[in-house]
Amino acid sequence: MAKKTRKKARQPDDAAKNAHILGAGEVVHQPVTETMEKNFMPYAMSVILSRAIPEIDGFKPSHRKILYTMYKMGLLTGARSKSANIVGRTMQLNPHGDAAIYETMVRLSRGYETLLHPFVDSKGNFGKAYSRDMQWAASRYTEARLESISAELFRDIDKNTVDFVDNYDATMQEPTLLPVRFPSVLVNLNSGIAVGMASSICSFNLREICETTIALAKNPRHDIMETLLAPDFIGGGQILYDRALFEQIYETGRGSFRVRAKYTYDKESNCIDIYQIASTTTAEAIIDKVVERVKSGAIRDISDIRDETDKSGLKVTIDLKRGVDPDKLMQRLFRCTTLEDSFSCNFNVLINGSPRVLGVRELLLEWITFRCGCIRRGVAYDLEKSKEKLHLLEGLAKILLDIDKAIRVIRETEEESEVIPNLMIAFGIDKIQAEYVAEIRLRHLNREYILKRTADREQLRAEIEEMQGILGSEGKVREIMAHDLREIAEDYGRERRSEIIFAHELPVIEEAPVAEDYPVTLFFTREGYFKKITPASLRMNDQQKCKEGDEVAQAMEAGNASELLFFTNRQQVYKAFASDFEDTKASALGDYIPARLEMEEGESAVCMVVTKDYSGYLLFAFENGKIAKVDLNAYATKTNRKKLIKAYSDKLPLAAMLALQADGDCVVESSSGRRLLFHSGAIAPKTTKDTQGVAVMTLRRNNHVTGLRSYNEGEYQSPNRYRTKNLPAAGVLLTPEDSGEVQMGLEL
C-alpha cells in the first residue's frame, strides 16, 4: 500500500512538470502543403544547392572541399599523403562520413579512370570505373596528391578572385567556387541526382573546348559545331555521330547519343577482344547480358566469354565457333547488349545559386562571364597592392632627400609614440608612409638601399596604368582569358580518345525474331514423324499415337529454341528449329519430316540430333565395325543454311548413330549377338564430316554391326567382361543373367 501511495503522490509532480512544456500532449492539425513547405522544401533545396548539382566551375561542393583541402595541405607540389589523412582533414570542411569523402576522392583520381583529366594523382588500388567487381582499397592503404592540372584550379585563389565563406562550425573558411582557368564543367564527366531534378554532363576534349571558348569570346554567334566535334570519353569507344542530334544537344542541353565498344579480331585464336566500352556500362554487365542471350538461344555463335582485364587495361574476350563472321556477330551484340549504350545528356548547372539547363553555347558564355569576373577581381587585387607599394615608395623617396634629418628626428624624439607624428611633420608624409619608414632597419638607412627601393616607382606606375586599362576594357580581360586557354590547351591537351563514326554508314543486320524458349518434349519415330509436346499436354496423355507399324525411336526433353538436325539415308542433314513446329498432342501423328523439310524423293530421316550450342560429338557406326567420331561443331554454319551435304561417309552402310554431350561408355552390337563395351574417348574426334572412322569391332564373315547406344550404369552384372584393353575387338556374347534367359533344371 505504501508503494501505491508514493506512486500516486508523484503524479501531480509529473503533471506539473509537463505543464511547463508548451503544447505538450496536444494534437496539432497541420495542412500537408504547410508540412511540405517547412520540412521537405528545405531538404530539397539543400540537396540541389549543396550536394548533387555542379556549379559553373564544374564541381559539386564535395569535390571542391576535397581539392581545396589537398591544396592547403601542400599536395600540389609535395609528396603524396595517405588517403586516410586527406579524408580526415577534409572533415573540417565536409560534415560527412569518411566513406563518402573517400569515395568522392576516388572518383576524382587517375586510377579510377572516369575523368578525361583527373585532378588526383593516385597510388595504390583505386578500383576501375569500367568494372563493378574491382573495388578500391581502404584509405589507409592508398596515397594521393594533386595532379599538375589542378594548379589551374587554384591560380590566384589568394587574390580575392572568388568569395570565401565559413565552414560548418565557423572555424575556418572555404571558397564558394574555384577560379578555374578552363571550362572544367564540360571537360570532365559529371552527374548527379537531386530532388525533382538531375544533372548529366558528358566530357569533351580539352583542346576542342578551349578552342571553342576562345572563338565564342570573340564572337558569341560562332558555330560551335565547327570546333567542338563531339563528346570525348576517357574510356574511348565509338560515338555514333548524327549532326542533327548533336545540334539539338548543343542547343538545348538535353538529348542522348549512342556509344559503342571497340574491338579487335584475333584470327589465330578465333576470338574477339573488346578493349574499350561506353562509360555507362561495365565489363561484368556486358558479360552477363551476352551469357543471357546465349542461354536463351538468341545467339549461337559464341562458345565462351571471359573477363581478361589486367594491369594493362580492360579486355573482354569472346571465343567464336568455327566459321563465324566476327563483324556480323558484333553488329548483333551491339543491338542486344550494352556493348552499344546511350548517354543521356542533361546539362543542369547551378548559375548564381539557381539550377538552369543550358546548351553548350549558353554554358560556355556563362563560364566566360564567370572567368572574366575572376580575372577582374584578381587584377583589382594586384592593382590595390601595387598602389599601396607605390605609396610606400613615394614616402621612402622623400627621405632620400635628407637621410640625416630622418635619423635626427627619430633620435631627438623623447617618446616612441611621437616618432610617427614627427616624421609626418618633418617630411610631409602620411601615417602609413611614416610607419613604413620607421620600421626600416638601421643597416638599411643608406643611400644605396633607398635608391634601389625607389627605382621601381616608374615600373610600378606603368603596371598600375596597364592594370587600370585592363579593368576599363572588356576586350583586354577576354584576351587574358584566351591567353590562359591557349597555354592550358598546349600544356595539357591530348588527342581524342573516342572515335567518331557516322550512324548512316553503319551496316544494317537483319536479325530474325527470337523464338520464345520453354520446355518441350520431342518425339521422333522410325518412319520419320516428329512431334513437339509441352509438359502440361504430356501429363494429360502420355500414350503416343503412331502410324500402324511405326514406333517412337527417339524421345528427349529440350527447349523450344533448340536446333534440330535430321540426318538422312543419303548422307545429308537438314536443319530446323523446334520453334518452327507447332505444339501438338500425344494423340496426333505429328509432322512428316521428309515432306516438311522438302527432302529429295526417296530420302528419309534416320536420326534426330537436338542442340543449342553445337557442343558434344556424333558417333557414326558402320556395318563393317568402324566408328567415326565427329565434333558436332562441324555442322555449325555462319549462314542460315537449311541443308548440308556429306554429313557422314557414303563409302560404308550406316548401322547406327549416337549423339553424346560428353565422352562416356558406349555399347556396340553385332548381328551375331556379341556386345562390346568401350569408352568413346578412345576414339579421336575428326572435323571432317565424311570420315570413315576407325575399326572398333572385328566381325566374322556375314556378320555386321546392328546397333550403337550409350551404356546404362548397372545394365550388365559384370561390365568388365564386355570391355577390352585394345581396339578393335570382337566383343563377347551376353551371359544368361545379362540376356534375361532362365536355365531349366531337373526336378527330383
| Closest to 320 in 3D by CA, of 372, 277, 264, 364 | 264
Q: How many residues does the chain have?
A: 748
- Catalytic residue, candidates 43, 112, 130, 141: 141
Active site residue 112: no
Q: Name the pairing type of β-strands 238-241 and 499-502.
A: parallel
* 380 SS3 class: helix
Amino acid at site 336: C
Q: Is-cis flag, bond preceding 728, omega within 30?
A: yes
b/e burial code for range 352-361 (CB count within 10 A of at least 16 → b): eeebebbbbb
Task: Give a three-class secondary structure readout of 586-622.
Answer: CCCCCEEHHHHCCCCCCCCEEEEEEECCCCCEEEEEE
Cβ atoms of 125 and 142 within 8 Å: the answer is yes
| Closest to 297 in 3D by CA, of 46, 565, 579 | 579
Using the structure block, give the residue that is written with the C-alpha cell 558528358. 202
DSSP for 61-118? HHHHHHHHHHHHTTTTTS--EEHHHHHHHHTTT--S-HHHHHHHHHHTBTTTT--SS-
Cell of 184: 572544367
| Closest to 557 in 3D by CA, of 610, 593, 511 | 610
Taking the C-alpha atoms of residue 589 and residue 598, their distance in angstroms, rounded to an integer, is 18
Cβ atoms of 436 and 397 within 8 Å: the answer is no
b/e burial code for range 575-586 (CB count within 10 A of at least 16 → b): bbebbebeebeb
Using the structure block, give the residue that is written with the C-alpha cell 556374347. 733
Cβ atoms of 528 and 593 within 8 Å: the answer is yes
Q: How far is CA 507 from CA 260, 327, 502, 504, 706, in A?
A: 14, 10, 11, 8, 52
| Closest to 234 in 3D by CA, of 202, 256, 257 | 202
User: Which residue stretches of 337-473 are H helix?
Assistant: 360-400, 403-412, 419-427, 431-438, 447-454, 457-471
Residues catalogued as catalytic: 141
